[in-house]
Structure 1
Amino acid sequence: MTIPMILGMVMMMSFGLIDTFFVSLLGTEQLAAISFTFPVTFTVISLNIGLGIGTSAIIGKLQGSKEITQSQHYATGSLMLSALLVGSLACVGYFSIDGVFSLLNASPLLMPYITDYMSLWYLSSVFLSLPMVGNSVLRACGDTRTPSLIMATVGGLNAALDPLFIFGFGPVPAMGIKGAALATLLAWIVGACWILYLLAIQRKLILPRLLTLAELKESSGDILRIGLPAAGANMLTPIAGGVMTAVVASYGPSAVAAWGVGNRMESIASIVVLALSMTLPPFISQNVGANKFERVERAYSITLKFVLFWQFAVFVFMWLCGGWIAAAFAKEPQVSSLIQLFLMIVPLGYGMQGVVILTNSSLNAMHRPMGALGLSVIRLFVFFVPISVLGSYLFGLKGLYWGTVIANIAMASVSVVVFKRALANHKHDVVDSETVVDEKGSVK
Structure 2
Amino acid sequence: MATAPDSTQINRKFLEGSTMRHVINMTATGSVGLIAVFLVDVLNLIYVSQLGKPEITAAIGYASTLLFFHTSIGIGLSIATTAVVSRAVGAGEMQIAKQLAGSALYLITGISTLLVLLTYPLLSSFLNLLGAQGETASLAKRFCAIVLPSLPLLSLGMGLSGLLRAVGDGKRAMYVTLGAAAATAILDPLFIFSLRLGLDGAAYANICARLVLAGVGFYGVLKIHHLFAKPSADIFQRSAKAFANIGIPAIMTNVATPFGNAAVTTAIAKYGDSAVAGWAVISRLIPMAFAGLFALSGAIGPILGQNLGAKRFDRLRSTMRDSLKLTLIYVLAVWFLLAVFSSLIATAFDAHDLGRDVIVFFCIFVAGSFLFNGSLFVANAAFNNLGYPLYSTALNWGRATIGVIPFVYFGGLWFGARGVMAGYGLGVVFFGALSVWLCFRVLHKIEQDQTNGV
State the TM-score, normalized to the length of structure 2.
Answer: 0.88
Q: 2:390 aligns with which of 361, 370, 377?
A: 370
- The residue that corresponds to 1:155 in the other structure is 181
**Aligned residues of 2:29 and 2:170 also touching (Cα < 8 A):** yes
- The residue that corresponds to 1:75 in the other structure is 101
Question: How far 1:39 sits from its partner (Å)?
Answer: 2.2
Structure 2 Cα separation of the partners of residues 424 and 215 of structure 1: 31
Q: Deviations over 1:305-363 (max 9, x none)?
A: 33123212211111110111101112534432332222222202111110111111112
**Aligned residues of 2:90 and 2:306 also touching (Cα < 8 A):** no
- The residue that corresponds to 1:440 in the other structure is none
Structure 2 Cα separation of the partners of residues 352 and 218 of structure 1: 35
Q: Check 1:422–1:261 CA distance in 2 against 1; reply closer, same or farther (3 A cut).
A: same
State the SS of the aligned residue for 1:50. Answer: helix
Structure possessing the higher relative contact order (Cα contacts under 8 Å, 6 or more residues apart): 2
Structure 2 Cα separation of the partners of residues 101 and 95 of structure 1: 12
**Aligned residues of 1:158 and 1:184 also touching (Cα < 8 A):** yes
Structure 2 Cα separation of the partners of residues 213 and 124 of structure 1: 29
Question: How far 1:216 sits from its partner (Å)?
Answer: 5.0
Question: How far 1:287 sits from its partner (Å)?
Answer: 4.3
Question: How far 1:66 sits from its partner (Å)?
Answer: 4.2
- The residue that corresponds to 2:267 in the other structure is 247
- The residue that corresponds to 1:11 in the other structure is 36
Question: How far 1:371 sits from its partner (Å)?
Answer: 1.2
State the SS of the aligned residue for 2:244. Answer: helix
- The residue that corresponds to 1:111 in the other structure is 137
- The residue that corresponds to 2:27 in the other structure is 2
Q: Deviations over 1:375-422 (max 9, x none)?
A: 112222122222222211222122222212221222222112211322
Q: Deviations over 1:219-271 (max 9, x none)?
A: 32222321111111001111121122111101111111001101111111211
- The residue that corresponds to 2:225 in the other structure is 203
Structure 2 Cα separation of the partners of residues 115 and 13 of structure 1: 22
**Aligned residues of 2:358 and 2:421 also touching (Cα < 8 A):** no
Q: Deviations over 1:120-139 (max 9, x none)?
A: 11022221112110111111
State the SS of the aligned residue for 1:96. Answer: helix
* 2:210 paired with 1:188: yes
Question: How far 1:54 sits from its partner (Å)?
Answer: 1.1
**Aligned residues of 2:168 and 2:302 also touching (Cα < 8 A):** no
Q: Which runs of 5+ in 2 are unaligned?
A: 1-25
Structure 2 Cα separation of the partners of residues 67 and 297 of structure 1: 24
State the SS of the aligned residue for 2:341. Answer: helix
State the SS of the aligned residue for 1:433. Answer: coil
Q: Check 1:429–1:239 CA distance in 2 against 1; reply closer, same or farther (3 A cut).
A: same
- The residue that corresponds to 2:114 in the other structure is 88
- The residue that corresponds to 2:291 in the other structure is 271
Q: Check 1:380–1:333 CA distance in 2 against 1; reply closer, same or farther (3 A cut).
A: closer
Q: Check 1:300–1:204 CA distance in 2 against 1; reply closer, same or farther (3 A cut).
A: closer
- The residue that corresponds to 2:407 in the other structure is 387
Q: What is the letter of the counterpart of residue 78 of structure 1?
A: A
**Aligned residues of 1:60 and 1:140 also touching (Cα < 8 A):** yes
Q: 1:306 aligns with which of 326, 329, 348?
A: 326
More displaced, 316-325 or 36-45?
Answer: 36-45
Q: Deviations over 1:20-44 (max 9, x none)?
A: 1211112211110000122211111
More displaced, 239-248 or 299-308?
Answer: 299-308
* 2:44 paired with 1:22: no
- The residue that corresponds to 2:447 in the other structure is 427
Structure 2 Cα separation of the partners of residues 35 and 314 of structure 1: 23
Q: Check 1:376–1:331 CA distance in 2 against 1; reply closer, same or farther (3 A cut).
A: closer
Greater C-alpha Rg: 1
- The residue that corresponds to 2:8 in the other structure is none
Question: How far 1:206 sits from its partner (Å)?
Answer: 1.5
**Aligned residues of 1:91 and 1:122 also touching (Cα < 8 A):** no
Question: How far 1:295 sits from its partner (Å)?
Answer: 4.2
* 2:350 paired with 1:325: no
- The residue that corresponds to 1:231 in the other structure is 251
Structure 1 Cα separation of the partners of residues 303 and 273 of structure 2: 45
Question: How far 1:289 sits from its partner (Å)?
Answer: 5.1
State the superposition RMSD in angstroms. Answer: 2.2
Question: How far 1:218 sits from its partner (Å)?
Answer: 5.3
Structure 2 Cα separation of the partners of residues 155 and 382 of structure 1: 35
